[in-house]
Amino acid sequence: MSGILAGKRILVTGVLMESSIAFHTARLAQEQGAEVILTAFPRPTLTERIARKLPKPAKVIELDVTNDEHLDRLAGLVREELGGLDGVVHSIGFAPQDALGGNFLNTPFESVSTAMHVSAFSLKSLTMACLPLMEEGGSVVGLTFDAQFAWPQYDWMGPAKAALEATSRYLARDLGKQQIRCNLISAGPIGSMAAKSIPGFTDLAKVWDDRSPLEWDMADPEPAGRGVVALLSDWFPKTTGEIVHVDGGVHIMGA
């Protein structure tokens, strides 16, 4: 099969719904010639059902990115299936309910710590777990939601995404000598499972109705998925530590 990912082996996390950016990334990666393996938590069986809708079969591995045992066994399981990796997609984020929805000033540190661990530190954990599989270099691509701003209802996920963005830059710095690139896609709001867990998400999404230069469709994750696939490919061979906005242009708008 020809395509910009022909011959590539890609690990994709976070496929929970057919409406997710991760699902469309996996689909597009397969269509562009890649072999794809998925990870899932906490319900691998759910991801296995969704994976049946991909163009080709994809194995699903259970992976809790806060569990050292899961991280330690990941490389061996992936090597058995694919032999190695050329790309990793980090599509993982979580914050407890008391860290969202307008509760910023009252959120306890325990909840903040969980948000930071799952949503930011996990980029480093996942990348290091996969590092032995990328002996000839590769591309790590994560998903963020523009952390330059304080968004309505987003609360502690905002600082968590800011930490994710900084983590990506430091990984880019430290892994460049091994020919591993680390970049992020900053996507506009998508009606995914993660989004639906944010109280008042529709208020946040209305920003795009009023301010996006390009018409934004919350029901269309494909543009973001295309951005991820492009960064996984060899078409960005010297791009690292970058944040590519796939948000209809909202990030350029002033008042």
Catalytic residues: 154, 161
Contact in structure between 201 and 212 (CB atoms under 8 Å): no
Task: Find, among 106, 82, 88, the residue nearest to 96 by Cα.
Answer: 106
21 appears as a binding residue in the annotation: yes
Contact in structure between 50 and 15 (CB atoms under 8 Å): yes
139 appears as a binding residue in the annotation: no
86 appears as a binding residue in the annotation: no
Give the phi and the psi of residue 234 in degrees, each rounded to 5. Answer: -85, 5
22 appears as a binding residue in the annotation: no
64 appears as a binding residue in the annotation: yes
190 appears as a binding residue in the annotation: yes
Contact in structure between 30 and 15 (CB atoms under 8 Å): no
Pairing relationship of beta strands 243-246 and 180-187 according to DSSP bridges: parallel
191 appears as a binding residue in the annotation: yes
92 appears as a binding residue in the annotation: yes
Task: Find, among 9, 15, 45, the residue nearest to 29 by Cα.
Answer: 9
Contact in structure between 27 and 229 (CB atoms under 8 Å): no
95 appears as a binding residue in the annotation: yes
Please tell me the distance from the alpha carbon of residue 141 to that of residue 168, in angstroms, as a whole number. Answer: 9
The C-alpha angle with vertex 173 and arms to 167 and 176, in degrees rounded to 5, equals 125
What's the longest Cα–Cα distance across the chain?
53
What would the two tokens of residue 62 be? Answer: 């259970």
Please tell me the distance from the alpha carbon of residue 137 to that of residue 130, in angstroms, as a whole number. Answer: 11
Pairing relationship of beta strands 138-144 and 180-187 according to DSSP bridges: parallel
Q: Which residues are annotated as a binding site for substrate?
A: 95
Q: Which residues are annotated as a binding site?
A: 14, 20-21, 64-65, 92, 95, 161, 190-194
